[in-house]
Amino acid sequence: MQQNTENNGVGASSEYLLPSSFIDSTHPAIIDFVQKETANASGEVESVIMLYLAIRDGIIYDPYFVGREESYYRASNCLLEGRGFCIPKAALLAAGARVLGVPARVGYADVKNHLTTEKLDALVGSNLYRWHSYTELYLNDQWVKATPAFNKSLCERFGVHTLEFDGKHDSLLQEFDCSGRQHMEYVHQRGSFQDVPYPNILRDFVEYHPRWLDNLSLNGDAASTDRWG
């Protein structure tokens, strides 16, 4: 698994246009989705923004839809399920960008969510989430970061600012909620990758988030609604 921790390079390698195991940009469902959602776009940046919005709001963020199997981390599965947590949603945006001919990769950081519920904190083991994911896109000769995880309806329900993306500036986190309370805090950067580093993620989830991994097998795969906890 190739890692690139440099975010301000002079160019984008062609590897970031290639399909990979989890960023499976040649999957027919992903290609159809991209073509449909960007049909009325005028230009590359607008296409990416339209794709970002379609994934942010059309794919429900579900922090309970996590497991050990590879399918929970793959872009096409996220699209077909219509839900997922941050890792597959970021992979889906990267896959869609590659369909558009825009170099894309996935980045990761450990974050603290100061506004999660006690239920979710208990399941994860704390309010520290390892391997929180975002997407890096090469637009206008620079890498920009976008986080398509949290759908608008979810943010409105919990009183959190919705993350917007303009294709020019990084859109990473909601540092505070609408009331000024601390929300997201990045505590450790893990770098960026051409594909989802599934073995690394699973290893750390097994060590630090075992109950989170086994939640579905213990409680069943119930349909999700907008929720953080």
Query: Looking at residues 145-163, what average pLDDT do you find?
Result: 89
Residue 171 maps to a domain: yes
Domain span at residue 144?
14-219
pLDDT interval class at 179 (50, 70, 90): low
| pLDDT at position 182 | 56
Question: Would you call 17 exposed, middle or buried from its count of C-beta atoms within 10 A (0-12, 13-18, 19+)?
Answer: middle
Residue 155 maps to a domain: yes
Residue 7 maps to a domain: no
Residue 28 maps to a domain: yes
Please say whether the beta carbons of 132 and 116 come within 8 A.
Answer: no
197 pLDDT higher than 80: yes
Residue 60 maps to a domain: yes
Distance CA 94, CA 52 (A): 10
Residue 70 maps to a domain: yes
Distance CA 93, CA 176 (A): 24
pLDDT interval class at 229 (50, 70, 90): very low
Domain containing residue 72: CATH number: 3.10.620.30
Domain count, the chain: 1
Residue 4 maps to a domain: no
Residue 3 maps to a domain: no
